[in-house]
Chain A
């Protein structure tokens, strides 16, 4: 096994080296350019409008995965009810900007409030669990995700129960009066976001802002504190990191990003119902982070796009029935998680730190190699480890 992978490595080494020489910024710029050009393909008639929808959803999932990555990748905690925070954002938006209560708050206020409410939810969840061992957070968020969905279904008067809230107004980036005063200026219609392409660019801008924010955060004091906590909590605490506070920050921040994404999702999809916030959705986001690479921002973006777009392609190609397809899709997602975690825990595009630590040498394995090295009578002559 190791011999084979070693051989493959030696063959691919020059290619890797060539890629490694390209500065990182180039990849980001290429990716951004591709994302910006993608909807134009639709304008030029190369792809159907359905693909634009896939694009928007992929971007939303990119944002979700980036948010979950803070908790999972950077801090090393597991949040299994992440979609609940997404639901908080989506429902806040739906209630404040729909015919349900005859409200139409301005876009920025709604988004800000959605984010804040999701953060408060994160705080409430984190409060009892973060002082304890890390895995309690996993089970509490797991339960929380389910409880939020049940509550949404049960609070009929407030959320319309299983029917969901319909007719969410499209976001207006400026006040109504301001838009009217601009008259027929060509760009004025862009201030009311109601076409798929406009949504696409709105979400793209938000995702880019979040990604830049997070990559800066990753290299900051806070980010290093998170990584230290992930590696060794005791050591981190003894260097003066307040564990509970740093963890709380990561949980709350990631909840806020989910709330933000939820607000955008509610605006985009126009209709939201509890169906969109199943436990499976949380697992999908977890799977995206694991596939792409925990702790690696480019990796997570890649994971989200691959796992959101690929199933769509396969579905188009196979034309399978929806429910049938769903079963296989989830099966594959589960298998991806297990296989990745066992064979390549650092993900497809690993973060440097994760790569070095996730292949840490098992003491027993080390003992074996040592024996094969020193036990000349039994061991073969190869010293290649």
Chain B
């Protein structure tokens, strides 16, 4: 496994991951505020890609243009790819979701799936069932060499643009008035209303921002891959949602982390052989074991020690602390030895199953070391990741950030 191969794969994974992140942010923000999955978000992404490609086609962009004119055209396409999805996202919220607010859980979900179908068919009706393709530009295939490794310019553009957008979003949510309103609405809609926040406006704004990000994602995808099919939004949406769950739904940095992890997993998964990948699984297992056996029991003991701060107790706890890994092993074996370290038996079993699963898959991967996963199975990887995360850590890597009122 040569180094430049790994660098190429990593850049590919980052690129894909950043695009997933752009879409996942929309899911996670809407989930944070309204607690429902906006199934139509994938289609919003497709609309972004289509409008961008059609704008470029309509402007007749080609390589003969001067760079300034071309930059102008691309900016125009960007504008189109932001405005169209924003409008669509706003309208969807207004027409299909707002009347249903406060209804039982399944109702808005159904509406979302209906909207998603309608939009997909509308895309076929308006743009035709054939995939839209970008005009062939030198920019699209341009690449530069970094220490002998060829990297596509567009990959770098995608990574940089997405990172900037995410920084912008973080600023928006953390430090502006409307961001504060968004956080308040997501925490408790009624209380936010009592504080004078126009929740309707805030929710509409959330949809608009999410849709704009997805639209930019669409533009980047269509430029990177050169074409986009009308049902692309389905799979991208699914993967983006997986990313959001992976990172912790409702959690904005989580969505980015989850997307990057998923993008990396996918790209590494299909481009390296299993024997190499097994080391990653093993590393994951070791990290998990460390956290479960040393960090978590240690922290729990510390909390207890801080609670009852008597010298004798601290001393006794210190002794226990030294033994923490031992207790943790016992906990992992589902023998609840000590109330101090008690994880519920169910949780311990789940952790144990997770560890066994990782160990077994690592072993299996070492055995079939020289096999490579076919690219055809790529979507399956995302699904397996989703199932595993829901099975063993449903709150995601960085934890959920939603508050549910009972």
User: Does B345 sit at the interface, judged by CB under 8 A?
Assistant: no
Given A80-B113, A283-B113, A337-B113, does the pair A72, B106 have CB atoms closer than 8 Å? yes
Q: Which stretch from B10-18, B207-215, B384-392 is at the chain A interface?
A: B384-392
Q: Is B394 on the interface with A (CB-CB < 8 A)?
A: yes
What per-residue 1/0 map shows which CB atoms of B384-405 lie under 8 Å from chain A? Answer: 0011001100100000000000
Q: Among B114, B234, B245, which residue has its beta carbon within 8 angstroms of that of A279?
A: B234
Judge if A341 is at the interface, Cβ distance under 8 Å: yes
Q: Does A303 contact B (CB under 8 A)?
A: no
* A286-B110 in contact given A128-B390, A135-B105, A143-B383 (Cβ < 8 Å): yes
Closest-by-CB residue of B relative to A135 is B37
Asked if B390 and A341 sit within 8 Å, CB to CB, the answer is no
Closest residue of chain B to A284, judged by CB?
Answer: B117
* A150-B379 contact in complex given A135-B109, A139-B241, A338-B96, C-beta closer than 8 Å: yes
How many residues of B are in contact with the other chain, CB < 8 A? 47
CB distance from B373 to the nearest CB of A (A): 11
CA distance A139 to B107 in the complex (A): 15
Majority SS at the chain B contact face: helix
For the complex, what is the distance from the CA of A384 to the CA of B24, rounded to whole Å?
A: 47
A135 to B112 CA separation, bound complex (whole angstroms): 12
Residues of A within 8 A of B241 (CB): 139
When C-beta atoms are compared, the residue in chain A nearest to B390 turns out to be: A128
Residues of A within 8 A of B (CB): 72, 76-78, 80, 127-129, 131-132, 134-136, 138-140, 142-144, 146-147, 150-151, 153-154, 230-231, 234, 279-280, 283, 286-287, 290, 294, 323, 327-328, 330-331, 333-338, 341-342, 345, 357-358, 360, 362-363
- Find out whether the CB atom of A134 lies under 8 angstroms from the CB atom of B129: no
Can you list 18 pairs linking A and B with CB atoms under 8 Å apart? A78-B110, A128-B394, A136-B394, A138-B109, A143-B242, A143-B382, A154-B377, A283-B117, A327-B125, A331-B118, A333-B117, A334-B119, A336-B114, A341-B100, A341-B110, A342-B96, A358-B103, A358-B104
Does B124 have its Cβ within 8 Å of any Cβ on chain A? Answer: yes
Q: Does B376 contact A (CB under 8 A)?
A: yes
Q: Which of A143, A279, A328 contacts B386 (CB 8 A)?
A: A143
9 closest cross-chain pairs (CB), A and B: A337-B114, A334-B117, A334-B118, A331-B121, A338-B114, A128-B391, A128-B390, A341-B111, A147-B383
Q: Is the CB of B125 within 8 A of A331?
A: yes
CA distance A222 to B234 in the complex (A): 35
Q: Chain B residue with minimal CB distance to A231?
A: B104
A324 to chain B, nearest CB (A): 10
Closest Cβ of chain B to A147, distance in Å, is 5
Q: Check: B47 CB closer than 8 A to any chain A CB.
A: no
CB of A132 within 8 A of CB of B111, answer: no
Which chain B residues border A150 with CB–CB below 8 Å? 376-377, 379-380
Q: Which B residues are in CB contact (< 8 Å) with A136? A: 245, 390, 394
Decide yes or no whether B122 CB sits under 8 A from chain A. Answer: yes
Are B37 and A138 neighbours in the complex by a CB distance under 8 Å? yes
Beta-carbon contact of A342 and B100 below 8 Å: yes
**In the assembly, what is the distance between CA of A143 and CA of B313, in Å?**
52
- Whole-angstrom distance between the Cβ of A99 and the nearest chain B Cβ: 26
Cβ–Cβ < 8 Å partners of B125 in chain A: 327, 331
Contact indicator B110/A146 (Cβ below 8 Å):
no
Q: Is B82 an interface residue (CB 8 A)?
A: no
Within 8 A of A (CB), among B83-140: 96, 99-100, 102-107, 109-111, 113-122, 124-125, 129
Within the complex, what minimum Cβ distance (angstroms) separates A235 from chain B? 10
With contacts A76-B104, A147-B379, A333-B117 known, what are 9 further pairs, Cβ within 8 A?
A: A80-B113, A132-B390, A139-B241, A143-B238, A146-B383, A330-B120, A331-B117, A337-B114, A338-B111
